[in-house]
Amino acid sequence: EAGVVQSPRYKIIEKKQPVAFWCNPISGHNTLYWYRQNLGQGPELLIRYENEEAVDDSQLPKDRFSAERLKGVDSTLKIQPAELGDSAVYLCASSSYLENTGELFFGEGSRLTVL
């Protein structure tokens, strides 16, 4: 079974430029999460989707960050414009409500460097 797929793995941009990250969750997983992980820190939730609905986006900086989940499957996280402090690893995770174990399956992450 394929895991959570993220792209790109690495992205280097200059500040004020836009950037987008893509995530394909595990097939059948209805819940999708975007986390941000700064160096030496644990992941912090940005947004959580149940199917196509964003049910928790309280930690998403909405002035520059946006996200969407098309048809309740793939998701895109966008930053525009990027700032130096946005340099981090952006992790996508998915889980199955039906399995109800609470376990999250993570992708390998997209490492963003803002110069």
Partner 1 sequence: EDQVTQSPEALRLQEGESSSLNCSYTVSGLRGLFWYRQDPGKGPEFLFTLYSAGEEKEKERLKATLTKKESFLHITAPKPEDSATYLCAGGGSQGNLIFGKGTKLSVKP
**Amino acid type, 28:** G
- In the list 1, 53, 63, 103, the residue contacting partner 1 (rule: CB under 8 A) is 103
> Which one of 13-21, 63-71, 74-82, 105-113 is the stretch in contact with partner 1 (CB under 8 A)?
105-113
- In the list 23, 60, 77, 91, the residue contacting partner 1 (rule: CB under 8 A) is 91
For residues 92 and 80, give the distance between their C-alpha atoms in angstroms, rounded to a whole number.
Answer: 19
**List of residues 6+ apart from 58 with CB closer than 8 A:** none
Shortest distance, position 79 Cβ to partner 1, whole Å? 19
Residues that bind partner 1 (CB under 8 A): 4, 31, 33, 40-45, 48, 55-56, 91, 93, 101-109
